[in-house]
């Protein structure tokens, strides 16, 4: 919160310092935030900061944590021309391509150097491998300067995905939940998943994502998933760009008023159920994300390399498929689950 005190100097003290780069109030800066070399090569996070003329909410928007999820990267590029720091209230920090080496090499899920999933190594380490160093810089230079994180993802090249927003609540995020919910609804994406973070074990998960790190650091936290099977559908890019602009309007950061909230016809999901293949082979989908399924319904099957069926993937609950495998290669284990959202009452 910003509290103006009579007679206080509102000059330099209000500049923002990110990785040694100073950004004055009312100005925009585009720069590459360095991630130093260690056991593997150096990289950087391309960042744009709009440090508004007036104080207000500080929002971090990140795209490209997973390098082959393209709609968010294209949407934030379009968002850049729609914010004017001189007329902005608050601060918008945009990690335009958070995982640059993965993006440029078009690797799915994993860093091309250390083969780790950037979304499982937070808060990272200054002396770790490249994924860990990116996470460290992200946490300590970007997330640190924000009140809220909007982390943008989509269906990777191997995934069928139905667009949805995830807002983080539960005991460990109770104070931040109202802001997260406000942001989530303002995005205008009609499927909204409410994640509960009640224990540290949940925050740590199977390796921390940037979202769980944001919860641990007391930030309002929103996950956005838009874009199907590594595609770049212009309608998806437009939906995400206009949703992000509406967030800034609803938070009164832009001069224009936002659309009324809550957005009508939102499908709320308070619980998800997932199942993953226990076999490696060739996947044949029979359903796709966005379809309603009944518990036990066959959503796809896995064959061996000769074509013999060795596994059936069945819906673990009644609900809507949020995402599921799509590509023929499927590995056993939790990296490519079938996830069903179970509809609930609005919260």
Residues that bind Zn ion (CB under 5 A): 66, 69, 153
State in angstroms the smallest separation of the CB of 148 from Zn ion. Answer: 19
Residue 232 is given by DSSP the state: -
Nearer to Zn ion, 66 or 182 (CB): 66
Rounded to the nearest angstrom, the gap between the alpha carbon of residue 300 and the centroid of all alpha carbons in its chain is: 27
Nearest to 159 by CA among 345, 22, 330, 344: 330
| Total residues belonging to the chain | 347
State in angstroms the smallest separation of the CB of 157 from Zn ion. Answer: 11
Nearer to Zn ion, 115 or 295 (CB): 115
State in angstroms the smallest separation of the CB of 69 from Zn ion. Answer: 5
User: CA–CA separation, 152 vs 65, rounded Å?
Assistant: 8
Nearer to Zn ion, 46 or 258 (CB): 46
**What phi and psi, each to the nearest 5 degrees, are found at residue 268?**
-90, 140
Report the 10 Å Cβ neighbour count for 107: 19
State in angstroms the smallest separation of the CB of 305 from Zn ion. Answer: 28
State in angstroms the smallest separation of the CB of 62 from Zn ion. Answer: 11
- Is residue 306 exposed (0-12), middle (13-18) or buried (19+ Cβ within 10 Å)? exposed
Nearer to Zn ion, 96 or 153 (CB): 153
Nearer to Zn ion, 161 or 183 (CB): 161
Report the 10 Å Cβ neighbour count for 242: 17
Handedness of CA 316, 69, 40, 37 (dihedral sign): negative
Helix H or strand E segment including 92:
strand 89-95
Nearer to Zn ion, 223 or 313 (CB): 223
State in angstroms the smallest separation of the CB of 63 from Zn ion. Answer: 10
Nearer to Zn ion, 51 or 153 (CB): 153
State in angstroms the smallest separation of the CB of 319 from Zn ion. Answer: 21
User: CA–CA separation, 28 vs 33, rounded Å?
Assistant: 15
Integer CA distances (angstroms), 164 to 149, 195, 227, in order = 16, 12, 10
Q: Do residues 95 and 60 make contact, with C-beta atoms less than 8 angstroms apart?
A: yes
């Amino acid at each position: 919160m910003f509290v103006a005190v009579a007679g206080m100097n509102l000059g330099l003290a209000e500049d923002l310092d990110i990785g040694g780069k100073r950004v004055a109030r009312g100005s925009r800066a585009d720069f590459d935030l360095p991630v130093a070399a260690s056991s593997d090569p150096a990289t950087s996070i391309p960042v744009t900061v709009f440090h508004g003329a007036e104080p207000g909410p500080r929002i971090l928007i990140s795209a490209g944590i997973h390098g082959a999820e393209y709609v968010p990267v294209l949407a934030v590029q379009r968002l850049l021309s729609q914010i004017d720091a001189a007329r902005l209230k608050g601060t918008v920090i945009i990690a335009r391509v958070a995982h640059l080496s993965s993006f440029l090499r078009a690797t799915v899920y994993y860093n091309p150097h250390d083969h780790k999933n950037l979304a499982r190594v937070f808060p990272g380490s200054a002396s770790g491998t490249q994924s860990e160093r990116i996470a460290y810089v992200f946490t300590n230079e970007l997330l640190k300067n924000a009140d809220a994180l909007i982390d943008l993802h989509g269906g990777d090249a191997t995934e069928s995905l139905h667009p949805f927003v995830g807002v983080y609540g539960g005991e460990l995020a109770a104070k931040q939940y109202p802001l997260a919910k406000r942001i989530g609804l303002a995005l205008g994406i009609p499927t909204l998943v409410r994640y509960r973070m009640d224990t540290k074990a949940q925050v740590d998960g199977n390796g921390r994502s940037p979202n769980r790190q944001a919860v641990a650091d007391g930030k309002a936290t929103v996950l956005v998933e838009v874009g199907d099977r590594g595609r770049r559908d212009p309608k998806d890019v437009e939906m995400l760009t206009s949703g992000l602009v509406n967030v800034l309007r609803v938070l009164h950061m832009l001069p224009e008023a936002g659309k009324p909230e809550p957005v009508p016809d939102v499908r709320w999901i308070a619980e998800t159920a997932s199942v993953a293949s226990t076999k490696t082979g060739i996947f044949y989908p029979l359903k796709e994300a966005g379809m309603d399924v009944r518990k036990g319904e066959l959503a796809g099957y896995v064959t061996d390399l000769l074509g013999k069926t060795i596994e059936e993937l069945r819906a673990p609950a009644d609900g809507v498929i949020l995402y599921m495998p799509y590509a023929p290669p499927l590995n056993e284990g939790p990296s490519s689950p079938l996830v069903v959202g179970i509809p609930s009452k609005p919260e």
